Amino acid sequence: MDRVIAKEAEARGISEDDLRQGYADCVSLKRFVTAQDIADMAIFLASPQSKNVSGMAMAVDGHTEQVTL
Amino acid sequence: MTQHVFITAGGSGLGLAMAQGFLANGAKVAVTDIDQAMLDAAQSAHPDLICFHCDASDETAMHKVYESLRQSWDRLDVVIANAGIAGPTAAVENVSLDDWKRCLAVNLDGAFLATSLAPLDERSRRRRHDLNVIHGRAVWLSVPVSIRGGKMGDHWFDENLGHGTRPFWHPRQCHLPRRGGRRPHGSRHCQRSRSPRHQRG
């Protein structure tokens, strides 16, 4: 994600911090998702606790309210 | 029962985080990565991790990886097609066709190969509903960070990669709810109404 933000900031001519803050402002929980958050979801999907979950898109994004273009 | 987990691009980032999580839960984990240095670092930190230097979009290489896994494991419980690249960040007129094709090769072909070549034995093929397949954000780009997965049903792959290809055309707009909520069924904005299946007369 850091590399994606660095590239996009360079392409848009703004600082990485500003871009990162802009993304965080679009999220209800106002924070970035960590790799551990994604790993936790993957472990849940592979566990018996999700035995009847199939073909679902699981958003682990702190609830995206809006998208910047 | 010990889970056997296979993760593409597991040398760093999200893939490594998932590998670490499964290892902590007592699973046997194999990862691929195109970056040998990252693989070496991951292997040093986690001696139990099985590492393969491999391009996830290379069919021959993936065949070899799965063949090696088949010889050492008697089962496979989880496939995580995590490999993905962001592609060039530029206006579309400045993106070369080669860059575009490379992005699709890794993000889509890689997911297809990881899933379709999974070394299932006959027993597993009959019980494939128990196989867990998880695709990373590379395939499902509709929201910034999401993963798509669950138990592999009869049409699991069609449904997932079928939907997964659509957001590539405009990843930030296609699957996000429009401001103002859902378009009513029957309106010219309703995609479902405009599909051939719903055209009458």
Give the tens place of pLDDT for each residue, B131-162: 777 776 544 433 334 455 555 544 444 445 44
**A25 and A43 in a common domain:** no
Chain A residue nearest residue B151, CA to CA: A54
**A27 and A2 in a common domain:** yes
Q: Give B201→chain A minimum CA distance, Å.
A: 33
Residue B197 lies in a domain: no
Chain B residue nearest residue A33, CA to CA: B145
Which residue range(s) make up the domain with A44?
33-62
Interface test with A, best of B38, B89, B130, B133 (most A CBs within 10 A): B89
Give which of B60, B63, B57 is closest to B84, Cα–Cα: B57
DSSP state of A27: B
End-to-end CA distance of chain B: 56
Pairing of strands B132-135, B146-151: antiparallel
Q: What φ, ψ does residue B129 adopt, rounded to 5°?
A: -65, -15
Q: Please count the other Cβ atoms lying within 10 Å of the Cβ belonging to residue A50.
A: 18
Interface test with A, best of B145, B151, B157 (most A CBs within 10 A): B145
Which residue range(s) make up the domain with B45?
4-169
Chain B residue nearest residue A4, CA to CA: B86
Write down the mean pLDDT value for chain B.
73
Q: Give B22→chain A minimum CA distance, Å.
A: 7
Output the pTM of the full model.
0.72
Give which of B101, B175, B98 is closest to B137, Cα–Cα: B175
CATH of the domain at B27: 3.40.50.720
Q: What's the total number of domains in chain A?
A: 2
Per-residue model confidence as pLDDT tens digits over B31-82: 999 999 999 999 999 999 999 999 999 999 999 999 999 888 888 888 898 9
Per CB-CB distance under 8 Å, the chain B contacts of A56 are: 148-150
SS (H, E, C) chain B: CCCEEEECCCCCHHHHHHHHHHHHCCCEEEEEECCHHHHHHHHHHCCCCEEEECCCCCHHHHHHHHHHHHHHCCCCCEEEECCCCCCCCCCHHHCCHHHHHHHHHHHHHHHHHHHHCCCCCHHHHHCHHHCEEEECCCCCCCCCCEEEEEECCCCHHHHHHHHHHHHHHCCCCCCCCCCCCCCCCCCCCCHHHHCHHHCCC
Q: What is the dihedral of CA B194, B138, B86, B8, to 10 degrees?
A: -160
Residue A53 lies in a domain: yes
**A27 and A40 in a common domain:** no
Residue B177 lies in a domain: no
The H or E element spanning position A13 is: none
pLDDT at residue B25 greater than cutoff 90: yes
Residue B68 lies in a domain: yes
**A37 and A24 in a common domain:** no
Q: Does B25 touch chain A (CB under 8 A)?
A: yes
Residue A67 lies in a domain: no
Q: What's the total number of domains in chain B?
A: 1
Per CB-CB distance under 8 Å, the chain B contacts of A54 are: 150-153, 156
**A46 and A27 in a common domain:** no
Measured between CB atoms, which of B77, B86, B145 is closest to A38?
A: B145
* Confidence label for B30 from pLDDT (cuts 50, 70 and 90): very high
Per CB-CB distance under 8 Å, the chain A contacts of B173 are: 67
Measured between CB atoms, which of A33, A37, A55 is closest to B160?
A: A55
Q: Which residues of chain A have pLDDT under 70?
A: 67-69
Q: Give dist(CA B68, CA B21) in Å, integer.
A: 23
Per-residue model confidence as pLDDT tens digits over B98-134: 988 888 898 888 988 998 888 665 555 555 556 777 7
Residue B198 lies in a domain: no
Which ipTM score applies to this complex?
0.78
Residue A9 lies in a domain: yes
Residue A14 lies in a domain: yes
The H or E element spanning position A59 is: strand A56-59
**A4 and A26 in a common domain:** yes
